[in-house]
Structure 1
Amino acid sequence: MSSITRLVVLGAVRQFQPVHGYFLRRELMTWHVDEWANIQPGSIYNALRSLKQDGYIDESGTEAAGKRPERTIYQMTPQGEVELMRLLRQNLWTVETFDTKPVMALTSFMFLLSRAEVIAALKFRITEIDAKIASNGFDIKDVARSSTTPAYVREIFELSSLRLRAEQDWARGLYDRIVAGEYVFAGEGEAPRPRESSPAE
């Protein structure tokens, strides 16, 4: 199981607990995690089993709806809380040059951290992105000097720099919105929880 899958499924259990796998599968598919995190519907159940084996979540009971099979209900363990915070901070404070999955995942669960920490991390990300773009510039020069690397390889770094600049613009906007008081963070109250539909829906 990838660290992104671990973060997303752990974070979803934390947000919606006590919760069964079917609800998590249905909810996470509305987030399009299959597209931006490469988490397929069936892998969510596998992730739940793995997280339980690792001691990060535990079964808290079962739920039956009509004639449907019983569904196992999960909730976080203290060990799972520690692991979730570790993964979340790891992605919050790390800028990836090519991979967009970490920033998408941390955006989904940043409310689990304090407003002050998210603001500090966004300030860091904005500055760190400048360094990543500068590094791409040196890679482009290396491609131009190389006698073996095809010249078109520079486009990999050009595309990366444009993506990073877009992320930086987004981070600046998010920073301003959070400073202005948008969203609810740890210690400020409960983050909104979507209504779980009835079995008939």
Structure 2
Amino acid sequence: MPRRALDNPIVLAVLGLLLEQSAHPYQMLSELRKRSDNHAAAITRGTLYNTVGALAEAGWVAAQGQQRSGNRPERTVYALTEAGRDELVRRLDVQIRTPEREFSQFLGAVSYLGALGPGGAVEALTERAERLRRRTAADERRLADVLAAGVPRLHVIEAEYASALARAETAWIEEVVDDIRTGRLTWPGPAAPRPGTDREGAGRKGEDA
């Protein structure tokens, strides 16, 4: 198994899941997708099985036995080893201590905000902020229900963090929109055509934007 499989971001998620309970790969896939929208979008069955194979080769997880459900084929159940627990703690410590510059699709897009022109930028940012507010409100209602059901706060701390990030992003967007409307954020030249209009003459960022 290539060593790079151990550098996959889902390694930490798999180790953390097996810290809670032993599971076979299909259970891991279902649980990780259920817990995180990011995992749901990023994890494929092949990726997960390759990752579990790499973890087993590294000695961080070990086969614990076989499990059968109905007429389905037997599935291998894996458990976290002592070495896997040590690796989980090591990775957690490093990642929590060290802030990384994480690149997102929004960061990539907002770096070319000028291409939308002031009006287009205001419309796009305003819609994003509204969607963020609705999503954050729904997420916080679910979190409140979970906490009210007696789940310890520490067990859902990542949802609290995600909500804080979404609120910070919304506040920043609202500030930028206000700066555009009041002229504190200016465009150096004519605005590019808005989506769906004639794009002839649209130039590069910073020139025609």
TM-score category, normalised to shorter length: 0.3 to 0.5
Structure of larger gyration radius: 2
TM-score normalised according to structure 2 size: 0.46
